[in-house]
Structure 1
Amino acid sequence: MDMNGGRKRNMKGHVVVISYPATGHTNPMLQFSKNLASRGVIVTFVNFNLNHRKVIQARESLQRLKLDIRFECIPDGLPEDDSTLDSNINPAVFKHMQDNMDGSGLERLIHRLHASGDTPPVCCIIYNSFLPWVRDVANKLNIPQALFWTQSAAVFSIYQHFQNGEGLDCGRMPQNVIIPGLPELKLTDLPSAFMETSGSINYYLGQLEVVKDASWVIANTVYELEPETINSLRSTSLPFLPIGPSIPTSFLQDQNAEDTQVGANPWKAADCMGWLNKKPPLSVVYISFGSILVISDEQIQELAVGIQQSGQNFLWVIRAPPGHDHIAEVLPAGFMEETKERGLVVDWCAQLEVLSHPSVGVFMSHCGWNSTLDALSLGVPMLTLGVWTDQPTNSKFVTDVWKTGLRMRRRDDGIVGRDETERCIRMAMESEEGKQLRNNGLKWRELLKSSASEGGSSHSNLNAFAQEIISKAK
């Protein structure tokens, strides 16, 4: 059945956006939806029972912006009374979303939207690769589809390069890898699945099967960050469209001061601004490892001692790991008391507001792609601790390509020790090399702001995509 056939309405274009229910996927896709709606496209943002309550928090900020974004929820088949499932990438949730979802809820929703007469027919379904079954719905209903890629172009290129290696044996991978459009990579620079023996890499490579049916690959990256990689991808006729950084536009442009937050926060953010206001410029080490990564008790303790030894002010976002009720149970004895004059430990914060504060001098990060883009967008150098999925690749680019960070060295047991932690903090905050990293970061900040401004690469790509969607509604 052709959902675009039948009644033609001279109305705005209408897209359905559906994201895997994890913060790192939902937030950039929700911000993209805001950017698209600001260009005259109606957006129906689809959630699951699992994350609907969190995502609709964004309505408050959307009301101020007066954007036409509607929220819908489809059943996910997960037990509603099981609070342990209410997390980001819980293995049980991940497997369920991959293997047990059949798309019937999404199909019924689109039929209902089409029959209601409240909106024009859906012109495009936009989804990310963690929900491969959405492709089947789009194909069945004959609706154009777009893949939203939430990682870097480099990671996409790496997966695509190895995609034809069905049954890839990671144990036989070369130590150095040459891929068109990328610098020479060591095996340890590739996404972590290439280092695993579980065979999970073949799943990640299989994700890209959906690309062959996609009219666009919309990527949360910036052309100026990865020009060689993006040019190489486009040389294969891949419709790769960089539209990033997908963050609230008040941090990139002056003309929209109301767009200050995405709104779909996994936890309540602590108010850190009063504390930061009391600290001198460039004097604070901001430390956060995102919404997913869980680090060991030993690693937390080593980091804490190194942070304390450095003598620097710090804002540390960290939650108690499994098996503990409070982070104080894991931190070294006396740490909280001895650092109370120069340190603040919180469960969660508004990261963009923190990174844009003049007191912040460096960002110690897991180097997830969203955090990496946040730091680049605001010109803050990084200390990278990447270990999982795309984080090692992002670390490689931050340190060796964009030259805005230091990669923290691990011991043979995989732990970043206290002395290495202290060394990296002092280097970033006190040395000439740290000043150069900061200067490089400021250059990238200006380039990313330019890309998001009128006439910039990402701004133009968003305009072109919106116009193509609107043209399909006429």
Structure 2
Amino acid sequence: MENHLQQKHDEAHQVLVLPFPSQGHINPMLQFSKRLVSKGLKVTLITTSKSMQPSAPSIHFHSIDFQEAEATTDINEYIRLYESLIPASLAQFIEKHRPKVLVYDSGMPWALDVAKRFGLQGASFFTQCWAVNAIFYHLKMGTLRVPLEEQIRTNAVVSLPSMPELEISDLPSAVYDNSGSYPCLWNLIRSQFSNFQKADWTFCNTYDKLEHQDDNDYGLHPFKPHTDLCIEWLNSKETGSVIYVAFGSIAGLTEEQMGELAMGLKSTKKHFLWLDVLSHRAVGCFMTNCGWNSTLEALRLGVPMIAMPQWTDQITNAKFVADVWEVGIRVKKDGNGIITKEEIQRCVREVMEGERSLDIKRNSEKWRKLAIDAVDDGGSSDKNIEEFVAKNYMQLAPHHSPYYE
């Protein structure tokens, strides 16, 4: 009886999912976990915060005690503590439960070493878009050199295989910011390609046709959203009449920039909202920092964007939003590096009322419709997950997967 109970307990941990503990990384890996569960797998997601209350009963959650970091507000110290303390706790959990596959955030390549020590398959999960991954890969391989001061000053053009022409200002800030405010974060970003080719599977949070029917209940929140109040307010507004503003959970705006933004929005004479309501029919424009999760969500819902990137991959995402997918406009800074209220007003009017607004709305709708194929039975996303499930849990040979779409 004891052996039977142990077997049943271990079956509850067929796939172990380890995201980096920030909202932008947890969300896509939680969504991926739900997709695996829908295919009949038992999934356990590792968290380090008991304050994040999951609302996904089909997924097992295991919280690793990480009290050492709760007192620090310094992101460099947090990452240092995480990388020094979590591997041992992860190894203990794996040794006890013996899952078959560890899906880990690509920014934590050490997790693959832990997986291989116990004979697990390792799956590296990239949470940013594949274009940004390609840029960092070329940087790692030396085919893209860190820009010199002269290149930065002249905003030189960079040419990479299978990508549009990019100016230096279109590259992720980590490419040309050698030290930055968060050196540990830059090291984490750049370490993603240190051993990913040794992983058994590689997944990426992207797709060739944009998703139509995603589950947008992410289930983990670092704060309590006032969704009901927002929806009630939105229900009273006309379709496509509201500007939605969001800038992610990490990067913040300066006091001067916040003032310009507020005055610019006020001068448009339009309703605007700074909360979690992107899918509502009243939202006609999304002012975003272009974090990858937010960008994917807006594309999936067909909402035009005003791109106001702050740092890292957001800068490259904004380039694609404005110039490749043509579903929005990218704001321009003045000579002091500030986005003025006049510029914000111009962008809002151009996206919602100007000559380009019809083209932007048509392109947004096109990408929304293309998403349907990716998640339908037999679509690109569905096929890749089916392959992963079949080759790990139906006794077929292991295989290095194409990325998750």
Class of the TM-score when normalised by the shorter of the 2 chains: 0.7 to 0.9
Does the CA-based 8 Å contact 1:166-1:202 persist in structure 2? no
Aligned mates of 2:293, 2:144 — CA distance in 1: 30
Aligned AA for 2:295?
A: T
Per-residue CA deviation, residues 141-172 of structure 1 (Å, 9 max, x unaligned), is 12110111000000111111121239964426
1:40 alignment partner in structure 2: 40
Q: 2:64 aligns with which of 62, 74, 77?
A: 74
2:169 alignment partner in structure 1: 188
Cα offset for 1:77?
5.8
Aligned mates of 1:52, 1:158 — CA distance in 2: 35
Per-residue CA deviation, residues 120-152 of structure 1 (Å, 9 max, x unaligned), is xx2211111232221220121121101110000
Aligned AA for 1:301?
A: G
Aligned mates of 1:168, 1:41 — CA distance in 2: 43
- Secondary structure at the counterpart of residue 355 of structure 1: coil
The alpha-carbon distance between structure 1 residues 214 and 77, as it changes in their structure 2 partners (threshold 3 A), is: farther
1:106 alignment partner in structure 2: 90
Per-residue CA deviation, residues 417-437 of structure 1 (Å, 9 max, x unaligned), is 010000001111112311211
Per-residue CA deviation, residues 41-64 of structure 1 (Å, 9 max, x unaligned), is 11111112xx2320xx22x3x23x
Q: 2:158 aligns with which of 134, 158, 177?
A: 177
Does the CA-based 8 Å contact 1:102-1:133 persist in structure 2? no
Matches for 1:207-356 after TM superposition, within 5 Å? 207-224=192-209, 252=213, 259=215, 261-270=217-226, 271-317=229-275, 349=276, 354-356=277-279
Aligned mates of 1:132, 1:357 — CA distance in 2: 38
Per-residue CA deviation, residues 78-129 of structure 1 (Å, 9 max, x unaligned), is 244x2x54xxx8332123224x236111111011113xxxxxxx22111112
Does the CA-based 8 Å contact 1:383-1:406 persist in structure 2? yes
Aligned AA for 1:187?
A: I
Does the CA-based 8 Å contact 2:108-2:191 persist in structure 1? no
Does the CA-based 8 Å contact 2:306-2:330 persist in structure 1? yes
Does the CA-based 8 Å contact 2:115-2:121 persist in structure 1? yes
Does the CA-based 8 Å contact 2:136-2:175 persist in structure 1? no
The alpha-carbon distance between structure 1 residues 97 and 359, as it changes in their structure 2 partners (threshold 3 A), is: same
Aligned mates of 2:12, 2:272 — CA distance in 1: 48
Aligned AA for 2:252?
A: V
Per-residue CA deviation, residues 175-212 of structure 1 (Å, 9 max, x unaligned), is 21111111111111111112314175666333211302
Cα offset for 1:290?
1.2
Does the CA-based 8 Å contact 1:362-1:380 persist in structure 2? yes
Aligned mates of 1:204, 1:167 — CA distance in 2: 16
Shifted more, 24-33 versus 209-218: the winner is 209-218
The alpha-carbon distance between structure 1 residues 108 and 202, as it changes in their structure 2 partners (threshold 3 A), is: closer
- Secondary structure at the counterpart of residue 240 of structure 2: coil
Aligned mates of 2:76, 2:103 — CA distance in 1: 24
Does the CA-based 8 Å contact 1:13-1:471 persist in structure 2? no
2:75 alignment partner in structure 1: 90
Aligned mates of 1:260, 1:301 — CA distance in 2: 31
1:339 alignment partner in structure 2: none
Per-residue CA deviation, residues 232-251 of structure 1 (Å, 9 max, x unaligned), is xxxxxxxxxxxxx5xxxxx6
Does the CA-based 8 Å contact 1:13-1:472 persist in structure 2? no
- Secondary structure at the counterpart of residue 103 of structure 1: helix
Q: TM-score, normalised by structure 2?
A: 0.87
5+ residue gaps, structure 1: 1-6, 115-121, 226-244, 246-250, 254-258, 318-348
Aligned mates of 1:385, 1:36 — CA distance in 2: 34
2:50 alignment partner in structure 1: 52
Aligned AA for 1:126?
A: V
Does the CA-based 8 Å contact 2:16-2:45 persist in structure 1? yes
- Secondary structure at the counterpart of residue 451 of structure 1: helix
What is the percentage of aligned positions where both structures have the same residue? 37
Does the CA-based 8 Å contact 1:362-1:381 persist in structure 2? yes
Cα offset for 1:411?
0.9
Does the CA-based 8 Å contact 1:126-1:148 persist in structure 2? yes
Aligned mates of 1:167, 1:365 — CA distance in 2: 28
Does the CA-based 8 Å contact 1:147-1:218 persist in structure 2? yes
Per-residue CA deviation, residues 14-52 of structure 1 (Å, 9 max, x unaligned), is 11101111000011101110110110111111112xx23
Q: TM-score, normalised by structure 1?
A: 0.75
- Secondary structure at the counterpart of residue 371 of structure 1: helix
- Secondary structure at the counterpart of residue 53 of structure 1: coil
1:149 alignment partner in structure 2: 126
Per-residue CA deviation, residues 380-402 of structure 1 (Å, 9 max, x unaligned), is 01000112110010001001110
The alpha-carbon distance between structure 1 residues 217 and 41, as it changes in their structure 2 partners (threshold 3 A), is: same
5+ residue gaps, structure 2: 1-6, 398-405
Aligned mates of 1:291, 1:172 — CA distance in 2: 31
- Secondary structure at the counterpart of residue 431 of structure 1: coil
The alpha-carbon distance between structure 1 residues 136 and 76, as it changes in their structure 2 partners (threshold 3 A), is: farther
- Secondary structure at the counterpart of residue 285 of structure 1: strand
- Secondary structure at the counterpart of residue 326 of structure 2: coil
Count of residues in correspondence between the two structures: 380
1:364 alignment partner in structure 2: 287
Aligned mates of 2:159, 2:146 — CA distance in 1: 17
